Amino acid sequence: MSEIKPEHQRHTARMQRKKAVVDEHIAAAQVERGVLVVNTGTGKGKSSAAFGVVARALGHGMKVAVIQCIKGRTDTGEEGFFRRFPDLVSWHVMGEGFTWETQDRERDAARAQAAWMLAARYLADPAYGLVVLDEFTYPLKYGWLDLAPVLSALAARPPLQHVIITGRGAPEALITAADTVSEIHQVKHAFAAGVKAMPGLEW
């Protein structure tokens, strides 16, 4: 047998110390409850991170609701895929496109209100383990929706229900209310280098 090298022993000792610290943190985190996640910032990944969690939740047999607040297109890969699980997934495309596509603020505001009415129903339903409010920061940011009733409904939701809100420019009060907040910074994007939005990657 080969002898145990000193650097190997040092590594092992360092990792044992690290494991003790990690284990302590894990032992300190014992609260079980629904988590409010906000994915904001300018980079790619805010919505796809939410859809990844949809897959994760489905793997645990949870019911999931997804409400898309801006997007109007209904041909995305994610929608087509997750609609194959109608018993578990409720998917709603409630938008009609970006503000520069609709060019009609009153109508945008009315659509946002309708999306919120629907969202509020899921936020009151303990059968749903995960509710994704995709691109929901925009109605708040543009003032189409008041923040106060949204924060109240989030606070009053079933205790084990997770919620993920995505979109740029999340209001400060929403960040304060959230448990986990990721700000996705765009370091670079293929689009700026002339690459088309590719199916299976961007939509």
Site for its own copies in 131-160 (CB under 8 A): none
Q: Select 80 or 149, whichever has its Cβ closest to its own copies.
A: 80
Sequence letter at residue 46: K
Based on the shown chain and the rule CB under 8 A, indicate whether residue 45 belongs to the binding site for its own copies: yes
Residues 158-187 that bind its own copies (CB under 8 A): 162, 175, 178-187
What is the spatial distance between Cα 158 and Cα 118, in angstroms, rounded to a whole number?
16
Q: Select 28 or 148, whichever has its Cβ closest to its own copies.
A: 28
Q: How far is the CB of 108 from its own copies (least distance, A)?
A: 9
Q: Select 2 or 117, whichever has its Cβ closest to its own copies.
A: 2
Q: Which of 130, 140, 150, 154 binds its own copies (CB under 8 A)?
A: 130
Residue 188 backbone phi and psi in degrees, to 5: -160, 160
Based on the shown chain and the rule CB under 8 A, indicate whether residue 190 belongs to the binding site for its own copies: yes
Nearest 10 degrees: Cα torsion 50, 84, 113, 147: -20
Q: Are 33 and 161 in contact (CB under 8 A)?
A: no
Sequence letter at residue 62: M
Q: Select 75 or 148, whichever has its Cβ closest to its own copies.
A: 75
Residues 78-107 that bind its own copies (CB under 8 A): 78-82, 98-106
Based on the shown chain and the rule CB under 8 A, indicate whether residue 6 belongs to the binding site for its own copies: no
Length of the chain: 203
Based on the shown chain and the rule CB under 8 A, indicate whether residue 110 belongs to the binding site for its own copies: no
Nearest 10 degrees: Cα torsion 180, 44, 42, 192: 170
Q: Are 167 and 23 in contact (CB under 8 A)?
A: no
Based on the shown chain and the rule CB under 8 A, indicate whether residue 76 belongs to the binding site for its own copies: yes
3 state SS of 165? strand
Q: Which of 3, 16, 24, 86 binds its own copies (CB under 8 A)?
A: 16
